[in-house]
């Protein structure tokens, strides 16, 4: 199975999700992204092209990568796994030093695309002690299903959660779309 892995803001391509996917023997496409210098709409177009051109089966996104993974899932009708997703980037990014007003406007425009996401194609992993994203109640409302995993002691970093174990234990549900 081929997975497009999307890291979070100020993260890196070899993030904890990448490492867990690698341990589970998935084929992984994972790009190093510069969220500060690349406009969000251009990032989405580039990531969607990577997904389709590499014939990926699933998209995994951490934090801000979860926002993009959700939109790719909607466009391609594919399963996605979201790890502490930042679904309200126009709210959270300014708190983290993101300073592009035009980028924030693009995120606001792109936000409506979440309405197109099929919740039955979404698996979510949330850290109960996430110190960065404080809007997981919103995530729970729109994406809660039997594949919503709360890791009570988990923080924002995927490295604080047993991702490899979760991926292995929930393999069929997390990496296969429901019909």
Tens of pLDDT along the chain (179 residues) come to 999 999 999 999 999 999 999 999 999 999 999 999 999 999 999 999 999 999 999 999 999 999 999 999 999 999 999 999 999 999 999 999 998 999 999 999 999 999 999 999 999 999 999 999 999 999 999 987 788 999 999 999 999 999 999 998 877 777 765 54
CATH number of 2-174: 3.40.50.1820
pLDDT of residue 177: 58
Yes or no: say if 157 and 15 are a contact pair by the CB < 8 Å rule.
no
Closest CA to 1 of 179, 148, 176: 176
pLDDT of residue 174: 76
> Which residue in this structure is represented by tokens 């983290």?
96
Counting runs of H as helices and runs of E as strands, what totals does the chain give?
A: 8, 6
pLDDT of residue 176: 67
Structure tokens at 57: 């089966």
Q: How far apart are CA 94 and CA 13, in angstroms?
A: 22
Burial of 82 (0-12, 13-18, 19+ CB in 10 A): buried
CB atoms within 10 A of CB 170: 16
pLDDT of residue 21: 96
pLDDT of residue 168: 87
> Which residue in this structure is represented by tokens 């790009």?
31
Three-state DSSP class for residue 160:
helix
97 contacts: CB under 8 Å, gap ≥ 6: none
- The CA-atom distances, in angstroms, between 74 and each of 48, 68, 78, 157, 165 are 11, 10, 7, 25, 27
pLDDT of residue 179: 41
Angle between helices 40-53 and 101-111 (to 10 degrees): 50
């Amino acid at each position: 199975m081929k997975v497009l892995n999307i890291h979070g803001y100020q993260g890196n391509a070899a993030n904890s999700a990448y490492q867990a996917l690698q341990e589970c023997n998935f084929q992984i496409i994972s790009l190093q992204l510069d969220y500060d210098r690349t406009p969000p709409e251009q990032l989405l177009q580039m990531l969607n092209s990577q997904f389709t051109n590499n014939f990926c089966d699933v998209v995994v996104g951490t934090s801000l990568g979860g926002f993009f993974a959700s939109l790719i899932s909607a466009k391609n009708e594919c399963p996605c796994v979201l790890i502490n997703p930042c679904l309200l980037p126009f709210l959270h990014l300014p708190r983290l030093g993101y300073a592009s007003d035009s980028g924030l406007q693009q995120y606001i425009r792109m936000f409506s695309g979440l309405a197109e996401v099929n919740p039955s194609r979404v698996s979510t992993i949330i850290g109960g002690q996430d110190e960065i994203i404080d809007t997981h109640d919103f995530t729970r409302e729109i994406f809660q299903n039997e594949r919503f995993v709360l890791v009570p002691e988990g923080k924002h970093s995927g490295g604080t959660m047993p991702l490899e174990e979760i991926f292995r234990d929930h393999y069929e549900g997390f990496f296969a779309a429901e019909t």
